[in-house]
Structure 1
Amino acid sequence: MKNKALCIIDGVNTSQSLHTLLAQRCIAALPYGGRYRLIDFPLSNVVHSGITNVAIFPDGDYHSLSDHIRSGKFWGLDRKVDGLFLLPPKKEIVSSANSLTFARMREHIDYFLRSRQKYVIIYQANVITNIPFEKLVKHHIESKADVTIVSYKNKQVGIFVIEKDYLIDLILRHEISPYNSISALIELHEGLKINTYMHDSYTRTIDSIVSYYRANMDMLKYKYGFELFLLDRPIITKTKDESPAFYSKTADVSNSVVANGCIIEGKVENSIIFRDVIIKKGAIVRNSILMPNTVVGENSIVDRMISDKHVLINDGATVKGQEFIPAVLSKGQRVAGAKEINILQVATECVPFYKTGGLANVIFELTEELIKQGVRTDVILPYYSILDQRYVENLVHDFQSTVTVGENEINYDVYHYSNAGVKYYFISSGDLSRERPYGYSDDCKRYELFCYLTLDFISKRLLKYDVIHCHDWLTGLIPYFMKYEFSQQTRHFNYTKTIMTIHNIQYQGICDISDLAIIPQNEMIPNEIMLYEKVNFLKAGIVLSDRVTTVSPTYCNEICYPYFAEGLDRFIYTRKDALHGILNGVSYSYNNPNSDLSIYKTYCLKTVHLKKENKCQMQAELGLPVNPDIPVIGMVTRVIEQKGFDLILEIFEDLMRENVQFVLLGDGDHRYTSFFKKMANQYPDKVSANIGYNAYNSQMIYAGSDMFLMPSRFEPCGISQMIAMKYGTIPIVRETGGLKDTVIPYNEFTLFGNGFSFAHYSSRDMFYILKRALHFYYQPLHWNKLIQSAMETDLSWESSAKEYINLYRKVMND
């Protein structure tokens, strides 16, 4: 057998679902079952089948894999003839295939040419099974087939057998062949003779977080364990000398796998516990997978969670996933203790359900990070008829009630949707639940109803929240109704605090009192909600909430002055002691050039030279002359006055005299969009105007541009400059709001800074800074330093969420 077949292990996996666990390791090195890694299964199958020639094709970060396998001595593969070979990619090869491609094998064609064996077993590293390769190869030979596939319970498994000469022929012809991998060959080649080997022993394919979680939980069932871990074919792994696990008198362990070196003082049920995990007194761990060196603090609750290595869950924290949809903590993550803190986010949009602007991302990403840091957080949203059917089908009807307003009765229903530890509530009632979130003449009436029904639902449903976090003017009447309506009806909100976040003070929710339906019109109207004889939702939120926040520290200072405050400066100033500026973050799960599959070539700081390939691809797609050396200025934005387009129009002809290209994506005011369409016709080699938010891939502009222009008149926070920096695209901004807080002007003498900025709202000042940026673009020392500083700037939600947690604690103690 050993002279008949070699084995190549396919370590390629592009599953986005596993991204958190594969950020610092490849799929083959993924830990499993308390002491193993996935690579142990193919290597053990190899050893027990007498195969002596094995090659691993890893992708991503394979250092952990290399450390684990070393020379292969644990599997008897440290040999003078044949042996174990680790064959990483020699160059960047971008492919949508989720398996080893012929192009990847072509890089190591010498390995195949010099190997003596006649047959090749291809084993995808994400397959867990115990299979006799000798029987598999014999079955293939006897069938006289071109390819043999392995099947388990009538489903194809990622294990194949093919004759080596045929595989070499496929590899050498891959550039002119329609088949880029063995999987594609089997799927598309009609004339191929395919043999199926029916495997009847336990087999699982790890292609998602859910499948990984289930495969580990299977090991708590004796039936599956006995099928996988055979006495005559044991699974071999790298051995480590560790002291036995220590169980204190307070330990309570049932139906769990606990590895050596652990210290167990709390309760553990139905869990896989890797080595050197510490579970402290009073902690409860259920249905979870804890990788090495995880620490669970005292009185913490962990349920349906996967923790990567070196995770710290502080005392009193709670981390909970859902059934077979576990919460996942990344390597080294810290979860703040948040005992007795229950937060409700109230907003009108949230991805993935609804999105018209940045607010939707903020609600989702802030909530996601709060959950990661151990804060129980729910979200309440209106139910709009545009909600995608895939979510509608999974909504659970939670509550139904009626409120009496004057002589009218208003019926409403509440549905909930649970995901990743968050419960999203959707309130449905009459005109509130129209197709669009905004844009109706009676929007103030609709959101007056939303605010009222939110509190009615919370009180009747007996939901207890320490803090209700209100976002933008549309939720501004919640503090008013708590004080003037519900405090008279119930004690439910006696210990509930409110926080009002101003995302953009321009939008305030102004209407006549007669436009509303719930606030009494024939009684004395509280002054807190009125401004210039009009109801002002945002003013009500500012004046009546316990704390007020803005989305950046600079914007927090700016709105205390009339120029920025849109008539609310005196009310904001009187509340300055309760005012806080907390910078919004950006999610690097979605905005990361190293994992963004929507761009032409993924890259990181070490491979930032690939950024130019994205530039060339963008130039080609937009019909601009392809030139990797010409500086490209990009913009992704709403095309409105606030974004500084008056300044751009004033100097645009001057800019066109420079050796630059200009790429715009967005929509808005006609006078601006028509101007850029005209410029695109006048300067077809310099300007690409993509009018409409879906007119081109925004991520390609972030990846393909060299500079990113944001000369806003005011900008509460801004997210585009944060994304641009992560993609190594240097921001050129006006010093206002969040732009000032995130962009540090470059100092060529100290080589410090991550962008360029100008203070005055002046087209001349902006043009001067543009020329300064162009000057440094042609100086590699400075430009490379700028790119490095920009890409290393951490603007994730982690620190911002911690600031919110501290604020929640402060307001609870007020």
Structure 2
Amino acid sequence: MKVLQVGAEVFPLVKTGGLADVLGALPQALVAAGADVRLLLPGFPAILAGLKTPTVVYEIGAAFGVARVRLLCGTIAASGVTAYVVDAPYYYQRAGNPYLGPDGTEWPDNAQRFALLGWVAAQVAAGGLDPAWTPDVLHTHDWHAGMACAYVAANPGAKVATVYTVHNLAYQGLFDAKDFHLLGLPVRFMDPTRLEYHGRFSFMKAGLTNAQRVTTVSPSYAAEIATAEFGCGLDGVVRSRGADVSGILNGVDDAVWNPGTDKDIASPYSAKAMAGKAASKAALQKALGLRVDATLPLFTVVSRLTQQKGLDLVLAAIPEMLAAGAQLAVQGSGDAELEKAFTQAMAVHPGVVAVRLGYDEAFAHQMIAGADAMLVPSRFEPCGLTQLYALRYGTVPVVRRVGGLIDTVVDADDAAVQADSATGFMFGPATREALALAVHRTVHAYAQPAVWAQLQQRGMAQNFSWAAAATQYLDLYESLCGSAVAS
């Protein structure tokens, strides 16, 4: 089984969110399960720097308005996975993150930049660029790679099976209709059944309507996006695909997220030897300028600072958290108003509220290891990886009852505690009051050492392995192989 995975990010080379973690771990899990997997990535500077022994596979030449495009092949030094890289310096050798310039605005030519990625993916899938390796399955991820499915569907002779994974439906890759001609697709694709979306065109919709199968990163999110509340305007498209849409839960890369081997934390620990967690908490409190006190429950947030992630609810609930005797530490960046408000909260509450703006991967490990509880109050959450990492580290998650959080956390109500199945705390409405109540429940449990230890142990015993996800993906691939691709 030959599988080409296509995306815009891969850990540890380029990361803006969970997509990078998935593309960093899923290919390795598929290889371990016996698949022949290759990645296709855009030639961002960090990706080229992390590509070992690159060779030129094909001199594409002029494409999508630029004169020089090459297809390189090498291995990702950090993982050993074989990767193709689209080397197009004009589009990819830029400052800023993959999608935004240094000023925080989207690159005006993102349509061409990521259409090129999808077009090259379709060419590789057709065997036109590397005749020595042609995939059986083309698996594309999120809007950046969604156009690959459209280019395959436009080829009447295409034989590759196509899978499209939605990591976050809210980010849809929307562009002005006047730029449709830049894609090089037949005019019939600028249609509501294909790409057209309220007078514009959508890369996300290209994946949803043209892939043979659509997956999301959790079963609950797959059901949610078929509803008006969570469908971001595309719920009708999702419903039209019916049983072609399913959810496969993300996993945790044990080589990266393991408290027993984590070199970034103050002291390693395991479920059988938890002393290192107490040491990690003390080190984190000291590093953040918080009062070093083991009796104070420390809640942390590691997240983009956006309303989607419910961080405005955390701000609103700070008085109740502090009144309950808790500490709060936040790491992240995003909405300028939220950044400002959290910074002000730290100034008003020194020693009990700490904020680090920006993202630091190593410090994120320290935040998760050193915390007692992890806040994930998202308004919607396709899967959520932070709560999975928290469980792995014996950090009790406090989450909203939504998306992948439903699939991964068992609320510590009385029945679940008695049955020893509880792993965290959940709340329903996206309100300050509901979050504050969940925090109070958490603080109450923290004051009961036996109950708290039980929650930690049960959480650390959960098995969210990529091996399980890889098996489900392989079953999906095998069900598709040999079926025709509609044009």
Query: What TM-score does the superposition give when structure 2 sets the normalisation length?
Result: 0.91
Query: Which segment drifts farther, 426-435 or 443-452?
Result: 426-435
State the Cα distance separating 1:386 from its structure 2 match: 4.2
Tell me what 1:763 maps to: 432
Contact kept? 2:291, 2:351, Cα under 8 Å: yes
How many percent of aligned residue pairs carry the same amino acid? 30
Tell me what 1:453 maps to: 120
Residue type of the alignment partner of 2:448: Q
Pairing 1:437–2:103 present: no
Question: What does residue range 302-381 of structure 1 map to in structure 2 within 5 Å?
Answer: 341-381=1-41
Measured against aligned partners, the alpha-carbon deviations of 1:203-225 in whole angstroms (never above 9, x if no partner) come to: xxxxxxxxxxxxxxxxxxxxxxx
Pairing 1:418–2:79 present: no
Residue type of the alignment partner of 2:135: Y
**Partner residue of 1:703 out of 358, 369, 380:** 369
Residue type of the alignment partner of 2:43: Y
Measured against aligned partners, the alpha-carbon deviations of 1:621-658 in whole angstroms (never above 9, x if no partner) come to: 22222111211111111111111122222222222212
State the Cα distance separating 1:523 from its structure 2 match: 4.5
Tell me what 2:423 maps to: 754
Gap change, CA 1:609 and 1:400, over 3 Å in 2: same
For the residue of structure 2 that corresponds to 1:459, the secondary structure is coil
Residue type of the alignment partner of 1:674: K
Gap change, CA 1:400 and 1:504, over 3 Å in 2: same
State the Cα distance separating 1:734 from its structure 2 match: 0.2
For the residue of structure 1 that corresponds to 2:272, the secondary structure is helix
Question: Residues of 2 paired with 1:392 and 1:470: CA distance?
Answer: 20
Residue type of the alignment partner of 1:423: T
Measured against aligned partners, the alpha-carbon deviations of 1:418-471 in whole angstroms (never above 9, x if no partner) come to: 256632001123533232421201101211122223323442422321110011
Tell me what 2:464 maps to: 795
**Partner residue of 1:672 out of 334, 338, 341:** 338
Residue type of the alignment partner of 2:88: S
For the residue of structure 2 that corresponds to 1:451, the secondary structure is helix
Question: Residues of 1 paired with 2:318 and 2:175: CA distance?
Answer: 40
For the residue of structure 2 that corresponds to 1:748, the secondary structure is helix
Tell me what 1:222 maps to: none
Tell me what 2:152 maps to: 482
Greater percentage in helix: 2
In the alignment, structure 2 segments of 5+ residues that lack a partner are 101-106
Question: Residues of 1 paired with 2:166 and 2:430: CA distance?
Answer: 23
Measured against aligned partners, the alpha-carbon deviations of 1:322-348 in whole angstroms (never above 9, x if no partner) come to: xxxxxxxxxxxxxxxxxxx11110111
Question: Residues of 2 paired with 1:395 and 1:497: CA distance?
Answer: 27
Stretches (4+) displaced over 3 A:
385-389, 402-405, 408-411, 516-526
Contact kept? 1:665, 1:696, Cα under 8 Å: no
Question: Residues of 2 paired with 1:345 and 1:430: CA distance?
Answer: 22
Gap change, CA 1:804 and 1:687, over 3 Å in 2: same
State the Cα distance separating 1:393 from its structure 2 match: 6.8
Gap change, CA 1:385 and 1:656, over 3 Å in 2: same
Question: Residues of 2 paired with 1:631 and 1:583: CA distance?
Answer: 30
Question: What does residue range 47-86 of structure 1 map to in structure 2 within 5 Å?
Answer: none
Contact kept? 2:332, 2:356, Cα under 8 Å: yes
Tell me what 1:74 maps to: none
Question: Residues of 1 paired with 2:4 and 2:422: CA distance?
Answer: 38
Gap change, CA 1:520 and 1:597, over 3 Å in 2: closer
**Partner residue of 1:537 out of 203, 216, 219:** 203
In the alignment, structure 1 segments of 5+ residues that lack a partner are 1-340
Question: Residues of 1 paired with 2:364 and 2:422: CA distance?
Answer: 25
Contact kept? 2:43, 2:89, Cα under 8 Å: no
State the Cα distance separating 1:611 from its structure 2 match: 1.3
Question: Residues of 2 paired with 1:744 and 1:522: CA distance?
Answer: 49
State the Cα distance separating 1:524 from its structure 2 match: 4.6
Tell me what 2:139 maps to: 469
Contact kept? 1:530, 1:536, Cα under 8 Å: yes
Question: Residues of 2 paired with 1:398 and 1:521: CA distance?
Answer: 25
Question: What does residue range 94-493 of structure 1 map to in structure 2 within 5 Å?
Answer: 341-387=1-47, 389=49, 391=50, 394-402=53-61, 410-418=67-75, 422-429=81-88, 431-435=90-94, 436-439=97-100, 440-457=107-124, 458-462=127-131, 463-484=133-154, 486-487=155-156, 491=157, 493=158
Question: Residues of 1 paired with 2:189 and 2:469: CA distance?
Answer: 37
Question: Residues of 2 paired with 1:712 and 1:393: CA distance?
Answer: 38
Question: Residues of 1 paired with 2:2 and 2:30: CA distance?
Answer: 11
Residue type of the alignment partner of 1:549: T
Question: Residues of 1 paired with 2:383 and 2:74: CA distance?
Answer: 30
RMSD in angstroms over aligned alpha carbons? 2.1
Contact kept? 1:445, 1:517, Cα under 8 Å: no
**Bigger-Rg structure (1/2):** 1
Aligned residues: 465
Residue type of the alignment partner of 2:17: G
**Partner residue of 2:323 out of 657, 665, 680:** 657
State the Cα distance separating 1:394 from its structure 2 match: 2.8
Residue type of the alignment partner of 2:344: K
Gap change, CA 1:392 and 1:374, over 3 Å in 2: closer
Tell me what 2:104 maps to: none
Measured against aligned partners, the alpha-carbon deviations of 1:519-569 in whole angstroms (never above 9, x if no partner) come to: 459955442111112111111111111000000011101000011111101
For the residue of structure 1 that corresponds to 2:168, the secondary structure is coil
Question: Residues of 1 paired with 2:206 and 2:312: CA distance?
Answer: 33
Query: What TM-score does the superposition give when structure 1 sets the normalisation length?
Result: 0.55
Measured against aligned partners, the alpha-carbon deviations of 1:77-121 in whole angstroms (never above 9, x if no partner) come to: xxxxxxxxxxxxxxxxxxxxxxxxxxxxxxxxxxxxxxxxxxxxx
Measured against aligned partners, the alpha-carbon deviations of 1:102-153 in whole angstroms (never above 9, x if no partner) come to: xxxxxxxxxxxxxxxxxxxxxxxxxxxxxxxxxxxxxxxxxxxxxxxxxxxx
